[in-house]
Structure 1
Amino acid sequence: MEKFEFNISIPISRKTKFGMKGLLILVLLVAVGFAAFRFGNNQGRENGYAAGYEEGWSESMASKLTEKNYRISDYSEMSPQSFGDLMKLAEEIRREVETTSWEHNGGPAKIDGYPQDLSLIIKQTQRGHKAVEHFLNNRRSQSEFIDP
């Protein structure tokens, strides 16, 4: 059998080549622009939320407060001997946990000490309660290493 070849030559003008390159560059620029927009939009949303959270509390945030009782007597190393000791712990929590959320800093969150049952009653958001629990657990674990 003889060899059969089939060649088609399609002439492409310079204008067509230039147009194809231009179209590919345009698609690339649109894709990069879209990616930059999405990245900037996400970053702006995250930064805006963080700034808004730190700058102040709105009435809508105040409505999301829940009250929780933290029995400090369960933390043997933290057992306060007096109301003053209990309030020192409360002040330390205000200084280190969600600082802008507390009442004395313009936020709606409150903390009260009850020496009768060695507890703190804290009115705070869900995020604030998690931070308080984390703070108290850290205090507990640090003192366990200090006093074996």
Structure 2
Amino acid sequence: MLLKFPLMMLLAGLVWAVTSLVCVSDARAVADPVDLYVEAMLDADVESLDRLLASNFIFIGSNGHVQDKEHFLQTIAQKKLIVHKASFKNLRESSAGPVRLVTGNGVFTAVSDVPLPSGLMRVSLVSDCTGKRERIVLVQLTPVIPTAQCEDGNCLIR
């Protein structure tokens, strides 16, 4: 009886690990969600964004404006936000179970019906892999000042 509990716990942990890896490996075998997000934004592909974003998705724009998934997709569909350039580098990743945090620097240039800072940004993206595929839960763009320290992620906020 004493061996059954540790064995069951080990088995449960193994099952959780395998199912987590299946979700991540399936999602990344096709393409990384960060790359898919950038591509869909540049193409204004609302259908791809709808599939890629979690139902509880939040977008925090470079002007601090916060939108949920529904309003974010409407903004893209109605061409109230048109992305001209989005490229991210220096990406760093951290995971905790099925949640993944990706941070980095990049250039974001867009036209919007509200004032929107463009240029060098600090990007933060959170994705969740509790379902069959990885979905993006949060994207935040923060305008930063280009400095030497910004190369390693220690950017000064503009």
Please state which band the TM-score falls in when normalised by the shorter chain: 0.3 to 0.5
Structure of larger gyration radius = 1
Q: TM-score, normalised by structure 1?
A: 0.34
Structure-2-length-normalised TM-score: 0.33
Q: Which structure carries more helix by proportion?
A: 1
